[in-house]
């Protein structure tokens, strides 16, 4: 526009209708005002027709005459002012200045209205998001609620497996829970079985005592010898009852998960000699040869009392379930990490189907024989627990009628 003003000589003659209407149009479009100032700083055109004939010697106008055009924003007045030079036709010097002032109120109003709309939109979006979140969480929580209900039911004794296959997470929770439940069920069953076995075992001697006592009482004038014999039998049954109770107590103590071993440096050779010395009279009764083979001196970190009990049970069984004039061989060997105790006998052997069960509580291959020899069916269970506590292992090789071999492996150094 300023170029057009220069070209048409508007600074000298402001009568050009076309230019005037163009200036008015421009100022209308931008809701503003256009003023044209000539070289003498006189306002020769004002689209508001207020300041025509007056002079404008503002800093912006002076600067513009020097060739520095510029624009300025007056925030408070919500106005923007652009000052442009009008060059002479040769584009050499500034002949006049065009000042265009435009109100930014429209823009400000527009911005305000945008802000308002954005605010409303924000609230709408927030409400929508809240609804979506509420429904999504309800959807997610529903299967979890089902799992919780099922678990709660199980907690009150209804030990049923939980199946909520609604999503992968609940599936995983259910699987983990079912595994634990199955383990608990197995434990519960074995506990029940143990309790029923214990009751049965404890009842047997008492029943015998009762039978003996009743038969004595039912006899009138029984001879004193019979009394003696029956009372001695009763005493034997009482001994048996206390053996069972003692073994049970040993097992229960070993079963405690926080059971601590009294570990010390022990010469295994000496320990085995001591065990064999104690059992020799039992072996001699049936002319069973009892031999100890030590391949090297072994010192290990063990609980001497408990491990001696474990080995005693093995050697005692080897004597008890042996044939008359048989043999029992105990050997000791070691490598860098472990020591090995082998108890071999020439006895009856253990049938294959019974081999995996002999370490169970109260299991006996031949009940009558075990009872005859004073067995409680707890000896090997005690041995197994002691070896487990020492982080060791026990293995059994046997053939019915050809004898048995129990091999025990225990680490030389105990790691708690």
Binder among 94, 261, 345, 392 for ligand ADP (CB under 6 A): 345
Nearer CB in complex with ligand ADP: 296/369? 369
Q: Which stretch binds ligand ADP (CB under 6 A): 101-109, 119-127, 150-158, 344-352?
A: 344-352
Minimum distance, C-beta of residue 350 to ligand ADP, in the bound complex (Å): 5
Nearer CB in complex with ligand ADP: 101/313? 313
Binder among 34, 173, 307, 348 for ligand ADP (CB under 6 A): 348
Binder among 404, 408, 409, 410 for ligand ADP (CB under 6 A): 404
Minimum distance, C-beta of residue 347 to ligand ADP, in the bound complex (Å): 5
Our finding on whether 250 is near ligand ADP (CB under 6 A) is no
Which residues between 355 and 384 bind ligand ADP (CB under 6 A)?
358, 363-366, 370, 375-381
Dihedral (C-alpha) 392, 397, 398, 399: value to the nearest 10 degrees? 170
The three-class DSSP label of residue 130 is helix
Our finding on whether 313 is near ligand ADP (CB under 6 A) is yes
Our finding on whether 104 is near ligand ADP (CB under 6 A) is no
Query: HSE (CB half, 13 Å, CA atoms) of 169?
Result: 8
# chain residues binding ligand ADP, by CB under 6 A: 23
Which residues make Cβ contacts (< 8 Å) with residue 36, sequence separation at least 6?
5, 10, 11, 14, 23, 43, 44, 45, 46, 86, 96, 97, 98, 99
Q: Which stretch binds ligand ADP (CB under 6 A): 26-34, 135-143, 282-290, 317-325?
A: 317-325
Tokens matching residue 288: 């069973």
Q: Which stretch binds ligand ADP (CB under 6 A): 2-10, 172-180, 280-288, 311-319?
A: 311-319
Which residues make Cβ contacts (< 8 Å) with residue 328, sequence separation at least 6?
283, 288, 289, 290, 291, 315, 318, 319, 322, 343, 344, 345, 346
Q: Which stretch binds ligand ADP (CB under 6 A): 61-69, 103-111, 260-268, 313-321?
A: 313-321
Residue whose token pair is 């809701």 = 31
- CB burial of residue 410 (10 Å; 0-12, 13-18, 19+): buried
The 261-300 site mask, x for binding ligand ADP (CB under 6 A), equals ----------------------------------------
How far, CA to CA in Å, does 323 sit from each of 169, 177, 285, 331, 403?
62, 52, 12, 20, 9
Q: Which stretch binds ligand ADP (CB under 6 A): 49-57, 147-155, 192-200, 312-320?
A: 312-320
Tokens matching residue 252: 């229960």
Residue whose token pair is 């404890």 = 202
Nearer CB in complex with ligand ADP: 63/329? 329
Tokens matching residue 29: 């479009």
Our finding on whether 318 is near ligand ADP (CB under 6 A) is yes
Tokens matching residue 168: 């992968």
> Which has the closest alpha carbon to 42: 51, 33, 31?
51
The residues of the shown chain that bind ligand ADP, judged by CB under 6 A, are 313, 317-318, 321, 345, 347-350, 358, 363-366, 370, 375-381, 404
């Amino acid at each position: 526009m300023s170029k057009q003003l220069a070209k048409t000589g508007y600074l000298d003659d402001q009568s050009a209708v076309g230019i005037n209407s163009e200036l008015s149009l421009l100022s209308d479009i931008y809701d503003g005002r256009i003023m044209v100032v000539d070289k003498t700083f006189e306002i020769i055109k004002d689209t508001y027709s207020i300041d025509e004939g007056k002079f404008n010697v503002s800093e912006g106008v002076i600067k513009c005459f020097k060739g520095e055009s510029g624009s300025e924003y007056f925030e408070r007045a919500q106005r923007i002012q652009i000052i442009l030079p009008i060059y002479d036709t040769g584009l050499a010097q500034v002949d006049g200045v065009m000042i265009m002032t435009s109100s930014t109120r429209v823009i400000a109003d527009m911005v305000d209205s945008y802000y308002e709309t954005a605010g409303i939109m924000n609230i709408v979006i927030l409400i929508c998001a809240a609804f979506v979140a509420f429904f999504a969480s309800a959807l997610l929580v529903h299967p979890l609620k089902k799992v919780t209900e099922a678990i709660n039911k199980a907690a009150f004794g209804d030990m049923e497996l939980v199946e909520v296959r609604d999503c992968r997470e609940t599936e995983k929770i259910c699987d983990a829970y079912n595994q634990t439940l199955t383990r608990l069920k197995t434990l519960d069953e074995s506990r029940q079985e143990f309790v029923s076995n214990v009751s049965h075992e404890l009842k047997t001697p008492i029943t015998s005592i009762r039978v003996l006592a009743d038969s004595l009482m039912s006899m009138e004038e029984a001879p004193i010898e019979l009394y003696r014999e029956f009372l001695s039998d009763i005493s034997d049954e009482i001994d048996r009852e206390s053996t069972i109770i003692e073994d049970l107590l040993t097992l229960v103590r070993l079963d405690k998960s926080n059971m601590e071993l009294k570990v010390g440096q022990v010469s295994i050779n000496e320990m085995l000699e001591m065990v064999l010395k104690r059992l020799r009279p039992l072996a001699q009764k049936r002319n069973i040869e009892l031999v100890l083979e030590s391949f090297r001196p072994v010192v290990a970190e063990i609980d001497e009392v408990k491990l001696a009990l474990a080995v005693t049970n093995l050697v005692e069984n080897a004597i008890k379930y042996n044939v008359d004039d048989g043999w029992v061989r105990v050997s000791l060997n070691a490598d860098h990490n472990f020591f090995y105790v082998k108890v071999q006998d020439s006895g009856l052997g253990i049938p294959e189907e019974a081999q995996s069960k002999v370490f169970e509580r109260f299991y006996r291959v031949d009940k009558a024989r075990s009872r005859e020899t004073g067995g409680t069916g707890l000896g090997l269970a005690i041995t197994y627990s002691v070896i487990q506590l020492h982080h060791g292992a026990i293995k059994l090789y046997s053939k019915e009628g050809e004898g048995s071999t129990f091999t025990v492996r225990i680490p030389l150094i105990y790691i708690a």
